[in-house]
Amino acid sequence: MDIDAYSSAISKLTPGTFVPDVAPGGPASQPLPDDQAGAGAVSFKDTVKSLLEDVNDKMVNASQMSQDLATGKSHDFDGTIKSVEEASLAFQFTMAIRNKLMDAYSEIQQMQF
């Protein structure tokens, strides 16, 4: 699986664009205003969208290569296995992120203010 695409997407995030930094006893931080966030910063929504599009592309490619191998259009057995495994790992990674986000949402929802 090509983890470089994920790490480069994550590295483009700027602190404060989706979750303000909160430190005990520290100054209260505010999210960046919309006009500053759009100036070169990548939002959390755009990052997630990019990652989901990448996973979808891998799954479509794996499906197409599997069909080509099954119908005899292709004889690239190793490439097909590699693309199917990449798609599977990317999907598992996506589901792990989804589960962590859902756990965090549940935890925040249970907080009493």
Per-residue pLDDT reduced to its tens digit, 36-79: 545 567 888 899 899 999 999 999 999 999 999 999 999 999 99
| 16's tokens | 């404060």
Q: For position 27, what pLDDT does the model report?
A: 53
Query: Does pLDDT of 20 surpass 50?
Result: no
Question: In the chain, how many domains are there?
Answer: 1
Q: Can you give the residue range of the structural domain that contains 13?
A: 4-110
Contacts of 74 (CB under 8 A, 6+ apart): 65, 68, 80
| 45's tokens | 């929504």
Query: Does pLDDT of 21 surpass 60?
Result: no
Q: For position 13, what pLDDT does the model report?
A: 61
Share of the chain above pLDDT 90, in %: 55
pTM higher than 0.75, yes or no?
A: no
